[in-house]
Amino acid sequence: MKRAGHRACLLLGSNIKAEKNISRAFRLLRRIFPIEDISTVWETPPVGGEGPNFLNAVVLINTAMDAGRLKDQVLRPLEVQLGRVRNGDKYAPRTIDVDIVAWDSNILDINVWNYAYLAVPLSEVLPYQQHPETGEYLEQVAHRLAQSSPIKMRPEVLAGFRKQSGSKQKMPVPIWIHSSTPV
């Protein structure tokens, strides 16, 4: 049975009390939307700035809202509720960041193809999404990016939620885990 509405992949990111805030964001989203899938949580150093490591995960939701309404009426207020303060520094540490990275299986953020912190969790949810120019699958891009980026799997962060939501337990390619590289 096909669900009405849109499928949105949301990237959750946090580097302030990250475990707590990723879990809180997921819990709030689950109260509002049907959850189709959840990626593993991944830890990476901050990109473009200083500060604690980030935790990132992707949540696939169903919504009848359009992307603008979703962002303005749900995601931004959710960030504020979890203590997000926006300032002029887009690389500043944050309690939570929730971005729409794919909409109805179309990738909205071109940086997905360039950064492991985006590609790796999204590839667990949309592995066969193809790069518009190279034709490479997202799971291939994620694997390649993860080989040259410090990234560490943190399956314990949303483990209980993954089981409750019916999300499949995923077994990423072990090379993605750079345990010898400090994250």
What's the pLDDT score for residue 183? 46
In tens, the pLDDT along 145-175 reads: 999 989 999 988 887 765 445 444 443 433 3
Question: Which amino acid is located at 49 in the chain?
Answer: G
Q: How far apart are CA 126 and CA 102, in angstroms?
A: 9
In a domain? residue 104: yes
The CA–CA distances, whole Å, from 133 to 53, 86, 130 equal 31, 34, 9
Neighbours of 98 (CB within 10 A): 22
In tens, the pLDDT along 32-81 reads: 999 999 999 999 998 877 789 999 999 999 999 999 999 999 999 999 99
Tell me how many domains the chain contains: 1
CATH number of domain containing 164: 3.30.70.560
In a domain? residue 1: no
Q: How far apart are CA 152 and CA 77, in angstroms?
A: 29
CB burial class (10 A; 0-12, 13-18, 19+) of residue 137? middle
In a domain? residue 183: no
In a domain? residue 139: yes
In a domain? residue 86: yes
Identify the band that residue 86 occupies on the pLDDT scale cut at 50, 70 and 90: confident
What's the pLDDT score for residue 3? 58
In a domain? residue 182: no
With contact defined as beta carbons under 8 Å apart, do 142 and 123 qualify?
yes
Q: For residue 108, what are the domain limits?
A: 6-176
Q: How far apart are CA 18 and CA 46, in angstroms?
A: 13
In a domain? residue 57: yes
In a domain? residue 181: no
The CA–CA distances, whole Å, from 31 to 1, 10, 18, 87, 180 equal 22, 15, 20, 28, 38
